[in-house]
């Protein structure tokens, strides 16, 4: 879908610069500078668009998807003047200079920032984030339309179309797969690949983000001997839906209706380890739900029905749909419905995709803090509106301390970090 480029109001409006405060709160400048040094992307000489500015710019692009490159930069630079550098001589550069600065930055430091900072944020007080001491996370994937260029098509591929045998989609697409913390909607451990990459291929890059204190939910597309065995190696508990053609012998029935079984190797598996894996199977129905399937079957690594009753696991499995809401926040409320990513080269497409993940985290982190601040009892972050939070971030001055881009203690008088 073509983008109608919008502009921001002329003149300095503090309400336009809230995004900078939220972003620097989530991604402090010392962390950004260190990662730039470690990835050899720090500016070697003074430039109009230094590397640390471009990191924040990439994130700001996701917050202002409908605004032109140059207008987003103007908003960002004016915000930096207000936050820390009132005498700075930043000037909004042209599209060519911005593209060159983004290319110098590349994807590596932005990806590294995401991998180092973005992770689960739920506390024991966060409602809806836990099951019997285990952090609920969901595994799934989605796709993003990217700029229609030959380079992007070669790098990411293009989906087919129902219009004919050789017809293709209007845009190339990348595939993104990741984990979502169910209680906060934070997308972490994500992997980005080609449209043709299988979920199994990308999942192997995501599994290292699982931890022993997690309960991982996944749909039937992920269920298989190989991935299950690799996921178990992380020591996380698993609760995945089974495919209809998978066979599970009944080894022992439990009072809660579940039964002990084993998952076995077959000729589709690639693993050289063929030892059967003990599992517990839960089958249930959803009576009164018009579009429900006749029977749902989920498989878990939690083998003791006393510690994880079947009725509880069946109810919690449907929390997996929270990941669809998180992806909708990324694709509809940040990016915009039916809007392709702006970047024209594969490197900058990946950079932009990580920018979206970083921006989404900054919003969700702020929402989580707001939910916990409610008294006398914290609210479930799911009850807060992501759309409203994004609007507030774009238009309302925050009451949170932001680290100024030039470092702690450099802010103007009267501003957090400044000199009184």
Q: Note the pLDDT of residue 402.
A: 37
| 26 and 160 belong to one structural domain | no
Q: Is residue 96 part of a domain?
A: yes
For 97-121, write each residue's pLDDT tens digit.
889 999 999 999 999 999 999 999 9
Confidence band of 12 (pLDDT split at 50, 70, 90): very low
Q: Is residue 45 part of a domain?
A: yes
Whether the Cβ atoms of residue 296 and residue 217 lie closer than 8 Å to each other: no
| 129 and 256 belong to one structural domain | yes
- Report which of 130, 238, 291, 116 is spatially closest to residue 188, judged by C-alpha positions: 116
Q: Which domain holds residue 109?
A: 14-116+385-395
Confidence band of 9 (pLDDT split at 50, 70, 90): very low
| 181 and 298 belong to one structural domain | yes
Q: Note the pLDDT of residue 90.
A: 57
Q: Is residue 235 part of a domain?
A: yes
Q: Note the pLDDT of residue 316.
A: 83
Q: Which of 301, 327, 353 is the last residue of a domain?
A: 327
Given a cut of 90, whether residue 135 has pLDDT beyond it is yes
- Report which of 284, 278, 390, 384 is spatially closest to residue 333, judged by C-alpha positions: 390
Q: Is residue 76 part of a domain?
A: yes
Q: Is residue 336 part of a domain?
A: no
Q: Is residue 376 part of a domain?
A: no
For 137-191, write each residue's pLDDT tens digit.
999 999 999 999 999 999 999 987 666 555 577 889 999 999 999 989 999 999 9
Helix (H, G, I), strand (E, B) or coil at 367: helix
For 328-372, write each residue's pLDDT tens digit.
877 776 666 667 888 999 999 999 999 999 999 998 888 888 778
| 204 and 320 belong to one structural domain | yes
* Helix (H) / strand (E) containing 218: strand 214-218
The phi, psi pair for 392, rounded to 5°, reads -65, -40
Whether the Cβ atoms of residue 302 and residue 313 lie closer than 8 Å to each other: yes
Q: Tell the residue number behind the tokens 């990217």, with chain if given.
A: 146
Q: Among 7-21, 318-332, 404-418, name the most confident range.
A: 318-332
The span from the CA of 294 to the CA of 286, in Å, is 8
The span from the CA of 339 to the CA of 101, in Å, is 24
| 76 and 104 belong to one structural domain | yes
Q: Note the pLDDT of residue 369.
A: 84
Helix (H, G, I), strand (E, B) or coil at 118: coil
* DSSP codes, 224-266: SHHHHHHHHTTT-EEEEEPPTT------EE-TTS-EEEEE---
Which has more confidence, 413 or 139?
Answer: 139
- Report which of 394, 369, 400, 395 is spatially closest to residue 384, judged by C-alpha positions: 369
Q: Note the pLDDT of residue 164.
A: 56
The residues pairing with 188 across neighbouring beta strands, listed in sequence order, are 179
Q: Among 9-18, 86-95, 217-226, name the most confident range.
A: 217-226
Mean of the pLDDT values across residues 218-229?
93
The span from the CA of 280 to the CA of 257, in Å, is 11
| 133 and 182 belong to one structural domain | yes
Task: Quote the mean pLDDT of the chain.
Answer: 80
For 232-269, write each residue's pLDDT tens digit.
999 999 999 998 888 899 999 999 999 999 999 888 88
* DSSP codes, 120-140: ----TT-TTSEETTEEEEEEE
């Amino acid at each position: 879908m073509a983008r109608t480029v919008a502009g921001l109001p002329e003149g300095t409006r503090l309400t336009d610069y809230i995004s900078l405060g939220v972003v620097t709160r989530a991604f402090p400048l010392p962390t950004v500078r260190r990662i730039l040094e470690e990835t050899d992307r720090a500016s070697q000489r003074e430039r109009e668009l230094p590397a640390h500015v471009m990191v924040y710019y990439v994130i700001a692009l996701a917050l202002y998807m409908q605004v032109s490159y140059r207008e987003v930069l103007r908003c960002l630079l004016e915000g930096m003047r207000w936050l820390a550098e009132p005498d700075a001589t930043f000037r909004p550069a042209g599209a060519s200079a911005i593209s060159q600065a983004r290319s110098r930055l590349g994807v590596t430091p932005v990806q590294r920032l995401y991998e180092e900072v973005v992770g689960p944020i739920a506390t024991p007080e966060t409602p809806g984030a836990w099951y019997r001491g285990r952090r609920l996370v969901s595994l799934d994937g989605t796709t993003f339309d990217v700029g229609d260029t030959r380079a992007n098509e070669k790098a990411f591929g293009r989906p087919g179309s129902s219009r004919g045998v050789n017809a293709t989609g209007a845009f190339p697409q990348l595939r993104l797969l990741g984990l979502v913390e169910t209680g906060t909607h934070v997308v972490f451990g994500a992997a980005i690949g080609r449209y043709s990459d299988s979920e199994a291929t990308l999942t192997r890059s995501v599994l290292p983000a699982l931890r022993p204190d997690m309960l991982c939910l996944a749909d039937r597309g992920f269920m298989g001997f190989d991935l299950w065995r690799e996921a178990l190696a992380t020591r996380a508990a698993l609760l995945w839906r089974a495919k209809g053609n998978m066979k599970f012998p009944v080894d022992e029935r439990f009072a809660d209706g579940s039964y002990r079984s084993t998952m076995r190797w077959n000729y589709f598996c690639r693993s050289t380890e063929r030892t059967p894996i003990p599992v517990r199977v839960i089958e249930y129905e959803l009576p009164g739900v018009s579009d429900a399937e006749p029977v749902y079957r989920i498989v878990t690594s939690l083998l003791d029905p006393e510690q994880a009753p079947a009725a509880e696991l069946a109810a919690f499995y449907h929390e997996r749909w929270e990941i669809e809401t998180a992806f909708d926040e990324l694709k509809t409320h940040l990016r915009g419905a039916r809007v392709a990513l702006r970047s024209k080269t594969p490197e900058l497409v990946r950079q932009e995709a990580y920018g979206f993940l970083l921006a989404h985290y900054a919003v969700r982190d702020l929402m989580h803090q707001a939910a916990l601040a409610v008294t006398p009892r914290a609210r479930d972050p799911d009850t807060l509106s992501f759309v409203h939070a994004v609007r507030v971030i774009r238009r309302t001055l925050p009451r949170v301390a932001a680290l100024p881009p030039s470092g702690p203690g450099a802010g103007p008088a009267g501003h957090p970090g400044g000199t009184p």
